[in-house]
């Protein structure tokens, strides 16, 4: 295993571009992320947030630019210079990806407990008792009723499904988690609990996270830093409270002024 410097960047993105035909979905994106940091990506619909997240998480090869990740196995490497197999392995072992719609991130045909245990199984755990114990532990950590562990996800509410998805994406101890609108379709009060839960988990596990959201309130409470996107460009990037309280770019000023202050 290659030793990774713990104070260096976990993720380093250099001049990333992605084009769909003539359309520039992401243009010249560069930033670094460290362990324990939460980066928020905000911007209007169609500004390229999901496209960027898919490039960063190895699902979509950028048209140009680099995505360097400090992997436990390979050290700091451009993930797109690795083989498909190595990239999949990093994704399985070292990342989590929480989808906006829990149905895209869960297996609806197997039980809640199996959904949570599966990532461990894919990473080589075979011991049933061990898996069961860890699944129960994670049910409790995301505040799901452990009595429901054998129920199918479709019998869970939207907020419960989202917590299940979060457990499934954290159980294997990733160092980086991607989240696309994780509190999207949820009731405001459920959102608040979930936000607090995610903050505590990130703090306790020392994770880094990249969270796409259109909700400025969510960004303010969850993210350390913000990247503001407009038509594929990053128009502003800085400390969350600075970007929201003293926005420098006209688009960010518009975005912030159109939101009710909390």
Question: 187: how many CB neighbours lie within 10 A of its CB?
Answer: 12
By CB under 6 A, tell whether 248 contacts ligand ATP: no
SS3 171: coil
Residue 37 contact partner, candidates ligand ATP, Mg ion, other proteins, none, CB within 5 to 8 A by sort of partner: other proteins
Site for ligand ATP (CB under 6 A): which residue of 40, 48, 102, 119?
Answer: 48
Which residues are CB-contacts of 166 (< 8 A; sequence separation ≥ 6)? 98, 142, 182, 194, 197, 198, 201
Burial of 195-234, coded b for 16+ CB within 10 Å and e otherwise, reads bebbeebbeeeebbbbbbbbbbbbbbbbbbbbbbbbebbb
Q: Report the distance separating Cα 255 and Cα 250, nearest Å.
A: 9
Site for Mg ion (CB under 5 A): which residue of 28, 50, 101, 151?
Answer: 50
32-91: contacts with other proteins (CB under 8 A): 34, 37
- Which region among 125-133, 149-157, 169-177, 188-196 touches other proteins (by CB under 8 A)? 188-196
Residue 238 contact partner, candidates Mg ion, ligand ATP, other proteins, none, CB within 5 to 8 A by sort of partner: other proteins
By CB under 6 A, tell whether 12 contacts ligand ATP: no
What is the binding site for ligand ATP (CB under 6 A)?
Answer: 20, 23, 25, 43, 45-51, 214, 245-246
């Amino acid at each position: 295993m290659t030793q990774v410097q713990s104070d260096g960047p976990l993720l380093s993105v250099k001049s990333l571009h992605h084009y769909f035909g003539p359309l520039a979905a992401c243009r010249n994106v560069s930033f670094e992320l460290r362990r324990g940091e939460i980066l928020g990506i905000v911007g209007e619909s169609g500004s390229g947030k999901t496209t960027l997240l898919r490039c960063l998480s190895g699902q979509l090869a950028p048209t140009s630019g680099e995505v360097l990740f400090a992997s436990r196995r390979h050290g700091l490497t451009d993930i797109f210079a690795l083989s498909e197999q190595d990239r999949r392995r990093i994704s399985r072992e070292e990342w989590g990806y929480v989808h906006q719609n829990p149905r895209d991130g869960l297996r609806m045909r197997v039980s809640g407990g199996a959904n949570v245990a599966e990532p461990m199984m894919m990473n080589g755990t075979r011991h049933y008792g061990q898996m069961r114990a860890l699944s129960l532990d994670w049910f409790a950590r995301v505040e799901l009723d452990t009595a429901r562990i054998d129920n199918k996800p479709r019998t869970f509410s939207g907020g419960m499904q989202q917590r299940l998805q979060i457990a499934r994406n954290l159980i294997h101890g990733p160092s980086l988690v991607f989240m696309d609108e994780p509190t999207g379709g949820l009731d405001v009060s459920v959102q608040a609990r979930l936000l607090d839960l995610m903050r505590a988990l990130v703090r306790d596990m020392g994770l880094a996270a990249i969270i796409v959201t259109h909700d400025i309130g969510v960004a303010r409470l969850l993210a350390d830093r913000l990247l503001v996107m407009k038509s594929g460009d990053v128009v502003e990037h800085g400390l969350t409270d600075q970007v929201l309280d003293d926005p420098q770019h006209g688009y960010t000023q518009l975005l912030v002024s159109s939101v009710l202050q909390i």
